[in-house]
Every structure is written in C-alpha cells, then in structure tokens.
Amino acid sequence: MGVMDARRPNSELDRRAFLRRLAAAGVALPSAAALVAACERKSAPEAAQRPILSSPQGPTFESGKPVEKTAVLKVYEWREYLSKGTLSSFERSFPDADVKVEVESFTHMDEAIARLQDPASQFDVFFPTIDALPGLIEMGLVRPLDHDQVPNVGNLWGWFRGGDGPFYDPGQRYSLPYTVYVSGVAWRDDLVAPADAPDATGDPYAVFWNPDYRGRVGMYDGYLEAMSLALLRDGVLDVRAASDGQLDAAARALTDAVAITDVRFTNDGVEEGLPEGVFAAHQAWSGDVLAAPRYAASEGDADLERRLRFWSPPGSEKIVGCDLMAVCERGRHPDLAHAFLNHLLDTDVGRENFCWNGYQPPLEGVTRESFASPDSPWHMEVPPNLLNTLLDNEAFADAQMLVGFGPSERARWLDYWKRVTPAT
C-alpha cells in the first residue's frame, strides 16, 4: 500500500484513514510494548493482530440513577475510533441491565450531520468536532448534559473544568472532550541526517525546503494545517490572527517548497509513508505518529518506533486539537448514553483505548509522566523517543487551536491555499 498522492484543495482531512484500512484487513492495533516484545520474539505480524481488551469488570460510576435495561446503545463514531475492548468492558459494567452497544461509523463530519438529521437515526452518542458543535446545538441534535450522571468529569484536566469551562462550550453543557493531539513534524532518524533533524536546527521546518530531501517530504492535504506550518516558520506565532500579507507569504513559501523538494500533500503520509520509507519527514499529528508503528508491525517491521522522532513548537506556538463526545437529542437511552461518556472518562478505560488508537484522552493519569516512570505499569507503552507526543494540562492550556473560523475567514485562507495547490 503506497501513500496516496491525493491533492484535493478543499479536502477534509481524515486522520483515521489508516485505521480504516487496518480494520478492513482485520488487523488490530497492539500497544507499543507489545511491539517491542514482538520484535524480541521475531513474530511481529502475528503479534500485531492481537487486540487489547479493556479490563474494568464493574460499573465505572454510581450516579444513583439506573440505566435503561435490555437496551441497545447506538453509538455514531468516526471509523475505528473506539476499541472493541472499550465497548465490551462497558457492556460488562452493567451485568444486571443486559445492555449492548451498536456502532455505526462515518468518515466526514458533513456526512455525519446529515445522518443525524434523519429522524429515524436515533443515535444515543455522537463524536462531533468543535467547529460542528454550534450547528448541532442550533439544530437541536444534541441534548444538554446532566453532569450528575458523569462524575468522571473530575478526571479531566483542569483546563476543561476550570472557570466557565472551555471557550467552545462554556460549562461543558453539551459536550465533553474525548481526545487531544498536537501538530508538529515527524521524521525517521535513519532517513534524516542528524544535522537536519527538526530538533537539532534553528529552523525546525527547514527539511521541507531542503533540496537534499526532494520527493521525500510531505504535509497534510488541508489548508489550515499546511498554511499554519508555513506561517509558524515565517514567525507568525498567532496563526489565527494572520494578515493577508502573512497568508500571501505563507502561500508563496509553500509554492517554493513544491518547487524545491516536490513536497507532497497527503492524508496518510504519516501512518503509511513514514513506515514504508516513502517519506523521510512529514507534518504530523501526534496520534498519527503513535499509530505509525502499528502499521509498520502489521507489515512485518517492528523496529520503526525506535527510528521515529517527533517535534512540536514550544509554548503558545503549539497547535493542538480536541475531539468531543455528546449525547444525541433523538436517542432513546439518554441515561445509558451518559453512562457511556462516563465510561470513556474512566482513567483505566481511557489509557487502554489510547493504546489502541494512539489519540490521548485529556485525563489525569494519562500523561507523559505516567508512561515514562519506570514504576508505572504503563512504562514503555509509549517508547521514550516518542514521549514528546504526549500533552499535559499546562501545555494544552498554553497552546492554540485551529477552530472557530467563520465563512469569511475560511474563504480568505482557501483563496491563498488555492495558489499553492495548482502547482502540485
């Protein structure tokens, strides 16, 4: 499977494309520790097919309010977003209620919203993006949350709980965070010279303009992601506030990168292209970097995780993202839906689901320290060279998000992005 050279100026990024391919092939994603052990046993392809099962056997909360019995909870998720172990452990949490979970998946948010508008859909739980949330509220497709039924909210990082709550949903009235991630640069230390590595140079983005790596570098095929990388390189620290002149300079810089290195804009270059050696370096979301070794293991390469490196900007230059979960207004089992959200906010459940999909839940105890400590049972689940993919409350609070763009702002950014894409 080679990297798709998809060059769609207005494409919506689907960072789950890799997981969909593995699901279609029947491959489950093991933990990084399992991959290390598999390497030692020289049986990585077989080990890569073992699923991780979540361990909780009893209820993860006591709200004082019973859940609906003999119910089928309908969950509408991004494809391959929840591990089978997470789903089965939820079902086991209510042995007297005989509940089941039924999952339907989507690949694009506009597709999902159209499905939710169908009165016959009756989903109970949905995973919206921040930008989609206001429209869902306005259309009456998600219901206000009863926080008394979600006591594990207390496990969330302080940024989500402090003051009036997150800016995109004050008081977390309609949503709770599911995963967080950070944008940066991923590279292979066997394909990028030490002196050219992003963490060894004054210009961490220089590899994308270095002719020595012509044909071997990539960026995400999305205008916000690619343009923001060029803006940061030009010294624009608050990318949301970029002026027309700064956006013009960023577009010209990306056009230069296309001419100098033949930089390729892809959706799966991190998960597939880096493992295959098609790319030496690629713009990357942290979750995709952690998923890449699982792809490599499924292809018989259990050593990739030791060769991967990741860098992201410091402080407020850092760009982070957050995916949400919500209870649907038309769902038939609101109490069970609240219990499911609460289940995902259980620290042990969140950790194990993270080891399956690579995207970090913003929970106390699911941080760099918990994976780095030799005394932690989760030690080496994330290899030492990739611990910097993990965020904590302070780093997340100090960072910026590429969300909340109105129609005019999007049109402005797209206008400059279209000056780059015809050259590709």
The answer to whether domain 17-49+181-319+401-423 and domain 72-180+322-384 are alike in fold is: yes
6-26 burial string, b = 16+ CB within 10 Å, else e? eeebebebbbbbbbbbbeeee
Distances (CA, A) of 157 to 46, 154, 343, 377, 390: 37, 8, 16, 21, 13
Contact between 211 and 280 (Cβ < 8 Å): no
- CA 200 distance to own-chain centroid: 26
Question: In this structure, which amino acid lies at residue 80?
Answer: E
Write out the chain's pLDDT in tens, 424 residues.
233 332 233 334 454 444 434 333 333 333 333 333 333 322 222 223 222 223 333 334 444 556 777 889 999 999 878 999 999 999 998 888 889 999 999 988 999 999 999 999 999 999 999 999 999 999 999 999 999 999 999 999 999 998 888 999 999 999 999 999 999 999 999 999 999 999 999 999 999 999 999 999 999 999 999 999 999 999 999 999 999 999 999 999 999 999 999 999 998 899 899 999 999 999 999 999 998 887 777 777 778 889 999 999 999 999 999 999 999 999 999 999 999 999 999 999 999 999 888 899 999 988 888 888 888 777 778 889 999 999 999 999 999 999 989 899 999 999 999 999 875 4
The helix or strand, by DSSP H or E, that contains position 406, with its residue range, turns out to be none
- Residue 323 is predicted with a pLDDT of 95
Contact between 227 and 247 (Cβ < 8 Å): yes
- Write a three-state SS string for 50-97: CCCCCCCCCCCCCCCCCCCCCCEEEEEEECCCCCHHHHHHHHHCCCCC
Query: Phi and psi for 264 in degrees, rounded to 5?
Result: -110, 140
- Residue 274 is predicted with a pLDDT of 93
- β-bridge pairing 176-188 and 281-285: antiparallel
How is residue 365 written in tokens? Answer: 């105890």
- CA 78 distance to own-chain centroid: 11
How far is residue 364's CA from residue 345's CA, in Å, rounded to a whole number?
10
Contacts with 359 (C-beta within 8 Å, 6 or more apart), sequence order: 179, 180, 181, 287, 290, 323
Helix, strand, coil % over all residues of the chain, rounded to 5: 45, 15, 40
Angle at 319 between CA 318 and CA 324, to 5 degrees: 135
CATH fold of 17-49+181-319+401-423: D-Maltodextrin-Binding Protein; domain 2 (3.40.190)
Distances (CA, A) of 132 to 177, 317, 347, 403: 14, 24, 27, 10
- Residue 423 is predicted with a pLDDT of 53
Predicted model pTM:
0.82
> Could you tell me which residues are beta bridge partners of residue 120?
none
CATH fold of 72-180+322-384: D-Maltodextrin-Binding Protein; domain 2 (3.40.190)
Question: In this structure, which amino acid lies at residue 32?
Answer: A
Contacts with 267 (C-beta within 8 Å, 6 or more apart), sequence order: 4, 6, 11, 13, 14, 15, 17, 220, 221
- The domains of the chain are located at 17-49+181-319+401-423, 72-180+322-384
